[in-house]
Amino acid sequence: MVIDFNNLEINNLHSQTEFEKKVIFFLEEWLSDSEKVKVQTSGSTGTPKVFGIEKKRMLNSARLTCNFLGLKQDDTSLICLPVEYISGKMMMVRSFERKMKLIVKDPSLEPLKDLDEKVDFCAMTPLQVENSLDKIHLIKNLIIGGAAVSESLKKKITKTLNKVYNSTKIYETYGMSETLSHIALKEVFPKTDDYFTVFENVSVSKDERGCLQIFAPDLNPEILYTNDLVEINSDNQFRFLGRIDNVINSGGAKIFPEALESLVKKEISNEIVFLGLKDESLGQKLIAVIEGKKSDDLIKKMTEIQFEKSFHRPKEIIFVDEIPRTPNGKVNRLQLAENFRNI
């Protein structure tokens, strides 16, 4: 299904899949007289919740992204993310705001499998990109969200796109449901930036905990306080260090699991999560959970990794068949930690 927002006739749209029905349902909600639409959070950092968001603020968010990427009327966009969440809803709102042609693809691990035409704009999860490397050259502007882009995926993207002449630009996003999707982007290809750059009229700073606070008056009249530990580079750039509620306190030393995961994923392609398990002597014992079959090769690679501190090396490596994820594909740290508490 293709929706032409420059010549929208909703009565002529006919769904053939359950996802297309949901897309049309949201479009009807968007075009209704209601000033708000309902959005569901992913639940990756707590209990999932549903809340209403003003349409005018969603339009402001859409403009920020479209302006940053230089998207224009009659460009082609592609949606392959669930419309229950802000990520999918905002893809539709951006297409509506900029009057683009929107290609609708069912959310799957291989959303570009049948794509043969060039697309100006698309948003995907890291796992979707991992399974679509042979097609990403067809996308001019690709944003990746829902989880951090691993070092191994960055290498695969660079290796794949360097083989073909193209103008593809790829960015990692920073945001959450409360910020109406992302408020900052970090280039992954062709450049590899260390810092996120925030959109116009968005300012960032740190609170007394060292966590990011965001002031984006076009999106929210109040300062938004996060639990994300960051390093501020300038008024409009920051680097994500990890979530404060994920910090592991082992023997008095604070350990940022996300930083360790980023380091390890330069050498290991498997999904890996660092956790702190209750320990009588250390308070928390650092462990590494690797998704996949136990492998001597993986264990050897782990032992060869040069960690910055000796206490960054996990006390134990555990292999699991599957790491739990939320419905939209994010690693569910809360559930994973709970699984180990119940053992």
pLDDT at 289: 95
**CB contact at 8 A, 315 and 309:** no
Q: Which of 20-24, 76-80, 232-236 has the lowest mean pLDDT?
A: 232-236
pLDDT at 221: 85
Tokens representing 33? 């007289």
Residue with tokens 């930690």: 337
Architecture of domain 247-341: 2-Layer Sandwich (3.30)
- Per residue in 210-228, pLDDT tens? 999 999 998 888 899 999 9
pLDDT at 151: 81
- Per residue in 145-196, pLDDT tens? 988 888 888 989 999 998 876 789 999 999 877 778 899 999 999 999 999 9
Please tell me which residue, 245 or 341, carries the higher pLDDT value.
Answer: 245
CATH of domain 2-243: 3.40.50.12780
pLDDT at 238: 95
Dihedral (C-alpha) 28, 30, 128, 287: value to the nearest 10 degrees? -120
- HSE toward the beta carbon, residue 277, CA cutoff 13 A: 19
In 3-116, alpha helices (H): 18-31, 55-69, 86-98
Q: Domain map of the chain by residue range?
A: 2-243, 247-341
The DSSP secondary-structure symbol of 104 reads E
Instruction: Quote the pTM value.
Output: 0.81
Q: Give CB contacts under 8 A, 24+ apart, made by 122-126.
A: 122/77, 122/78, 122/79, 122/80, 123/79, 123/80, 123/81, 123/87, 123/91, 123/173, 124/80, 124/81, 125/81, 125/328, 125/329, 126/150, 126/153
pLDDT at 307: 92
Query: Residue 44's pLDDT band (boundaries 50, 70, 90)?
Result: low
Bridge partners, residue 243, by sequence = 228
Task: Tell me the mean pLDDT in the region 132-154.
Answer: 90
- Who contacts 76 (Cβ-Cβ below 8 Å, separation ≥6)? 100, 101, 102, 103, 117, 118, 119, 120, 121
